Amino acid sequence: MTAEFVARTSFNSDRSSASRYIISHLRRQPLYFVTMIIGAFSNAALAAVVPALVGATFNELLADASLAVIGGYALLIGISQIVRGALQLLRNASAEVFAQRMERDVRDELYASLLGKSMRYHDSQPVGETMARVTNDVREMNLMLNPGMNLIVGSGMFLLVPLLVAPFLYFPLIVPPILFIIAYVFVQARYLRNLGPVAQDVRRNFGTMNADAAEALDGLQVVKGSAQEASEISKFNRLADTVGDSITRQGYVEARYLPVLLLGLVIAGGFAYAAGFFRAGLIDEGTVVAFVGQLILFGFPVFVSSFAYSQVSLGYASTQRILEVINAQTDLDQNVEGHDQPIKGSVVLENVDFGYDEAATVLHDISFQVEPGQTVAIVGQTGAGKTTITKLINRTYDVHAGCVLVDGVDVRAWNLAKLRSQISIIEQDIYLFSRSIADNIRFGKPDATQAEIEAAAQKAQAHEFILSFPDGYDTIVGQRGVTLSGGQRQRIALARAFVTDPPILVLDDSTSAIDSATEDRIQKAIWAAAEGRTTLLITHRLSQIRWADQIVVLRQGRVVAQGKHEDLLQTSEAYRRIFARYEADEVTINGHVPEHSPSDSVYEGDVRPE
């Protein structure tokens, strides 16, 4: 299967269908499967011993047998049920271990598969829906096995035992069990055909509801800031009602469970059938009692199957949803055998076209070259495609046309892990994990020492504020780093980049949330970090733009100019317009009047650049 990342070469699972996928996981635990079958059959067989011994005891009572004989039968019944209880424990323990190990394996496989999917796949998937599959759907597979399949296997044995015992009582008595089993199989097949689609609706609607809840919680600041709590609650309630309605429809299907009717018919009919043989003198009273007792054993599969088959249907529907994720093909491959060398830093884009959607191209015929160790600033209006270019360099996405070369090698020919491990991108929207500050800094280099972490933090001007926290570098940041200010998050991200010492560094407006005084210090750190490495800057800071060895000007997804700052001011109207706007921004930020104040006509029709 195509994937950016593969944790193992194979999980040894058959993904061609849901049933084969389940079976392939069951085969991994043959010992527990065997003990579960043994326990299930023993449970049914020893349950059948009770009515057989009761029938024999009934005959002894009619014959005025001694108390010792009756007591002997009672003792046999007690011993058989003690053994049955021990074997039942073995069966249930095997089923539980079986179920837990399958859940563990499926969860591992699904999580590894999700990490291996490309960003194009994840862009189209709501996070809440994905989480519903990773958590709830995998759990449903566990419950499908135990108690679901455990009860079905056990109840199946209870269907089989009366069929085996009846001929030993009196061979013609086999007819009622045969008729019941035929009718039972028919109505169960019909029941499952009706239950399957309803179970799929339940799981699908639950995933939709979960996705909405996750999205609302992720954007909680926006919800509260816009005073839209009531609207979101109303929307969620509608989705919750949809889930409730689908579960109710499942209940309607379960309420029309016909095997309960069949059980009453087989017990009444079987008793009348056996009574006829008794009246004819072909069997005795004890045989009638034993036979009816055997028919009563059908009650276990009848009463547990309604719940068990519902659980299996939900688990099967969940398995299908899990396979939809695992089998989804991604558009990138990790290319294990690809180019695997230390990067020197040359980056070339040749006639690149790209779009997040095949129908909408956002980059058109992009061409420019970056020499090793060179610093290039990419400027342009919002939506011009600046950030998109950086995602093509580390192959987060693949180009639609043209090529991106790193050290003269097409990025598609690189070993993907080797390529990405040598390119560090700091984005404006900083993501920090709910871990310690030290763990966030060392994320790209797990073996980094504390000294390396602190040195990187000092370069990023983060060391001072980190030490101001009571726990210092061991301070746990909230999800996405919400307990930190924007400037603090960006400085930790800079430290994370510095500790990996990448040959190619991409700064995507990475100082936008930093005040001017701090920026001056970080600017020096960036200059030091950029020395000897290829650096791409997406910025509106004039100091960084002027500092760049080369400037690439984008407009509406096209390169309209490139060169040095002084040359572009003379030759490019598009750059002069952008530069004028950036100067206007710095009037607001720094409070000084720029050397060249832009006229109002410069901005006409423009959109504020990033």
Handedness of CA 251, 253, 256, 262 (dihedral sign): negative
Instruction: Classify residue 109: in a domain, yes or no.
Output: yes
What is residue 476's DSSP assignment? B
pLDDT tier, 4 (very low <50, low <70, confident <90, very high otherwise): low
Q: Above pLDDT 90, what percent of the chain?
A: 45
**439/319 same-domain check:** no
Residue at a domain's end among 501, 521, 537: 501
Phi first, then psi, for residue 321 (nearest 5°) are -65, -40
Q: How far is residue 135's CA from residue 138's CA, in Å, rounded to a whole number?
A: 6
pLDDT tier, 328 (very low <50, low <70, confident <90, very high otherwise): confident
**318/437 same-domain check:** no
**303/432 same-domain check:** no
Q: What is the pLDDT of residue 10?
A: 57
**For residues 418-446, average pLDDT:** 88
Average pLDDT over the chain reads 85
Residue at a domain's end among 440, 471, 501: 501
Q: What is the pLDDT of residue 478?
A: 73
Count of domains for the chain: 2
* 406 close to 422: Cβ distance less than 8 angstroms: no
Residues 445-454: tens digit of each pLDDT: 889 999 999 9
**For residues 127 and 174, which has the higher predicted lDDT (pLDDT)?**
174
Pairing type for strands 363-370 and 347-354 reads: antiparallel
Q: What is the pLDDT of residue 512?
A: 61
Give pTM, 2 decimals.
Answer: 0.74
Task: Kindly give, in sequence order, each residue whose CB lies less than 8 Å from that of residue 247, ignoring residues fewer than 6 positions away.
Answer: 202
pLDDT tier, 514 (very low <50, low <70, confident <90, very high otherwise): low
Q: What is the pLDDT of residue 480?
A: 63
pLDDT tier, 123 (very low <50, low <70, confident <90, very high otherwise): confident
Instruction: Classify residue 372: in a domain, yes or no.
Output: no
Instruction: Classify residue 274: in a domain, yes or no.
Output: yes
Q: What is the pLDDT of residue 518?
A: 63
Residue 341 tokens read as: 């060398």
**108/255 same-domain check:** yes
Q: How far is residue 379's CA from residue 559's CA, in Å, rounded to a whole number?
A: 10
**296/443 same-domain check:** no
Q: How far is residue 371's CA from residue 352's CA, in Å, rounded to a whole number?
A: 18
Task: Kindly give, in sequence order, each residue whose CB lies less than 8 Å from that of residue 86, ignoring residues fewer than 6 positions away.
Answer: none
| Buried b or exposed e, range 285-322, using 16+ CB within 10 angstroms | ebbbbbbbbbbbbbbbbbebbbebbbbbbbbbbbbbbb
Q: What is the pLDDT of residue 582?
A: 66
* pLDDT value at 606 more than 60: no
Q: How far is residue 439's CA from residue 449's CA, in Å, rounded to a whole number?
A: 11
**437/309 same-domain check:** no
Instruction: Classify residue 411: in a domain, yes or no.
Output: no
CA 109 to chain centroid: 10
**130/255 same-domain check:** yes
Residue at a domain's end among 501, 530, 549: 501
Q: What is the pLDDT of residue 585?
A: 60
Q: Would you tell me the crossing angle of helices 450-459 and 516-530 to the nearest 10 degrees?
A: 120
pLDDT tier, 75 (very low <50, low <70, confident <90, very high otherwise): very high
Residues 217-260: tens digit of each pLDDT: 777 777 877 788 888 889 889 999 999 999 899 888 888 888 88
Burial classification of residue 586, based on how many CB atoms lie within 10 Å of its CB (0-12 exposed, 13-18 middle, 19 or more buried)? middle
Give the containing element (helix H, strand E) for 550: strand 550-555
* pLDDT value at 292 more than 80: yes
How would DSSP label each residue in 181-217? HHHHHHHHHHHHHHHHHHHHHHHHHHHHHHHHHHHHH
Instruction: Classify residue 366: in a domain, yes or no.
Output: no
* pLDDT value at 595 more than 80: no
Instruction: Classify residue 167: in a domain, yes or no.
Output: yes
Pairing type for strands 363-370 and 550-555 reads: unpaired
Instruction: Classify residue 363: in a domain, yes or no.
Output: no
**288/174 same-domain check:** yes
* pLDDT value at 525 more than 90: no
Query: In this structure, what CATH number is given to the domain that contains residue 79?
Result: 1.20.1560.10
Instruction: Classify residue 388: in a domain, yes or no.
Output: no
Residue 25 tokens read as: 């996981």
Q: What is the pLDDT of residue 607?
A: 32
**For residues 301-308, average pLDDT:** 86
pLDDT tier, 583 (very low <50, low <70, confident <90, very high otherwise): low
Q: What is the pLDDT of residue 66?
A: 83
Question: Which amino acid does the sequence have at 593?
Answer: V
Query: In this structure, what CATH number is given to the domain that contains residue 441?
Result: 3.40.50.300
**For residues 106-122, average pLDDT:** 86
Q: What is the pLDDT of residue 598?
A: 33
* pLDDT value at 593 more than 60: no
pLDDT tier, 48 (very low <50, low <70, confident <90, very high otherwise): very high
Q: What is the pLDDT of residue 2?
A: 59
How far is the CA of 429 from the CAs of 318, 493, 511, in angstroms? 34, 10, 11
**310/443 same-domain check:** no
**182/58 same-domain check:** yes
**279/135 same-domain check:** yes
* pLDDT value at 482 more than 90: no
User: Which range marks the domain in which residue 491 is found?
Assistant: 428-501
